[in-house]
Structure 1
Amino acid sequence: MLLDLLVIGLVITLYPLPVMAFVLVLSAHRGVWKGLAFILAWLACLVAVIALVLLLTGGEPPAPKSPPSTAALAAKLAIGVGLVLYGGHRRRRRRRTEVPDSAAAAAPSQPSLNSRMDQASVWSAAGLAVLLQPWGMVGAGAATVVDADLSHPQSFLALLAFCLLATSSLLAMELYMVFAPGRAGRALTGLRTWLSDHKDPAIVVTCLVLGLWLVGRSLYELTS
């Protein structure tokens, strides 16, 4: 369980869409407070999903090969297949799609996005975190948490590590902005530019890596 949660948490924290949104949040007026609201809402979603799973299992993992255990593995397999298909779809679409100049000109400009984020409230930032949570990946984490045994402290540590790792990129940017706002602002500008240029390849890589991992692990456990 621990290894699966670490892999899932790492991919979640590197998934580019929430990171791009969080960079905009931090760059806005009162960005530190809005970033804190974003992180708290993000963590609340993770904790709520874990709590729901533990409530359903009673904190005891189902017996191997039992219907609940098989259903959890089947869910992970389905999510893995879905991520692989989505990653392949994004890769093919990126290869054959060229953005016309008119469409590029009609796209929202960076200053307009910044202006809208400046006017947004901390509640809007929190809602953005909920909307941009990669729910498929979180669902894979939930299917893995089914194996948590709360009678062992290692399970608590694994769940804590998952939540912290899945939030680590956001926490790092938030703390950087708090303690070194000048350097952080320049670094976030560079990160935003890099993500704008490499968003699609990053989405493809993260989806394929996690999808193949989930498929391989699920098939192994279902057939062993």
Structure 2
Amino acid sequence: MVLDLLLIGLGITLEPFPLVAFVLVLSAERGVRKALAFILAWLACLVGVIAAVLLLTGGHPPAHKTGGSTAAITVKLVVGVGLIMYGEYKRRTAGRPRKTPKWLARLHEVNSWTAAGLAVLLQPWGLVAAGAATVVEANLNHGATYLALLGFCLVATASQLTLELYAVFAPRTAGARLERLSNWLDNHHDQAIVVLSLLIGFWLVGKSISQLV
């Protein structure tokens, strides 16, 4: 469970599109405050999903090859297959002209509430669903489980937290570096999606099939 959560958390935090949006929000006027609202909403989604799963399972994983266990594994399998298909699609279409959504240019003007709403909308819900299916295995009778769940939330928010702290403690240099990061993400958007999607997709599919067999 721990390794699965780590890989899924990395996929969530490195997902290029929400990261680009976060950088634009952070670069705006009073961006630190708006980015904080983004982070809190992002974290709230993760915590809410984990809490909902634990309420359903009672903090005890379902027995192997029961309906609940099979359903959770199937969710991970479906997400994994979807990621592989999406990654392959992006690999085949890489290099084609890509239109930047017009609303991205308006992120410098959003308020804190809108930034929080964006965090909810831009959350990579497919990966979050895979994380939720993995949390089904959590056993709250073990103290290490709490650390694993906390670690998942921190890893899944690591990129935003790092950039936020950098903007707070190094505001003079943050602006130029955030702009360079935004340009790099824009130029390597498709490549990043291909690597993340195929890596996590194949891992989820392989792990799910081994658990189902």
TM-score normalised per structure 2: 0.95
Q: 1:94: how far off?
A: 2.3
Tell me whether 1:146 sits opposite 2:136 in the alignment.
Answer: yes
Q: 1:14: how far off?
A: 1.1
Q: Distance in 2 between matches of 1:108 and 1:55?
A: 40
2:157 aligns to what?
A: 167
Q: Give the secondary structure class of the aligned counterpart of 2:188.
A: helix
Q: Give the secondary structure class of the aligned counterpart of 2:46.
A: helix
TM-score normalised per structure 1: 0.91
Q: Which stretches in structure 1 are left out of the alignment for 5+ residues?
A: none
Q: Distance in 2 between matches of 1:119 and 1:72?
A: 41
Q: 1:186: how far off?
A: 1.5
Alignment of 1:1-224 (within 5 A): 1-94=1-94, 97-98=96-97, 108=102, 113=105, 116-223=106-213
Q: 1:109: how far off?
A: 10
Q: Distance in 1 between matches of 2:19 and 2:193?
A: 12
Q: 1:215: how far off?
A: 0.3
Q: Distance in 2 between matches of 1:190 and 1:119?
A: 20
Amino acid of the residue matched to residue 222 of structure 1? L
Distance 1:129 1:71, change over 3 A: same
Q: Percent identity at matched positions?
A: 60
Q: Which stretches in structure 2 are left out of the alignment for 5+ residues?
A: none
For residues 169-217 of structure 1, the C-alpha deviation after alignment (integer angstroms, 9 at most, x for no partner) is: 0000000000001111121111011111110111111111110010011
Deviating 4+ runs (over 4 angstroms): 107-110
Q: Distance in 1 between matches of 2:25 and 2:109?
A: 11
Give the root-mean-square deviation of aligned CA atoms.
Answer: 1.6
Distance 1:209 1:159, change over 3 A: same
Amino acid of the residue matched to residue 124 of structure 1? T
Higher alpha-carbon Rg: 1
The count of corresponding residues between Structure 1 and Structure 2 is: 213
Q: Distance in 1 between matches of 2:209 and 2:49?
A: 24
Q: Distance in 2 between matches of 1:148 and 1:14?
A: 24
Q: 1:86: how far off?
A: 0.9
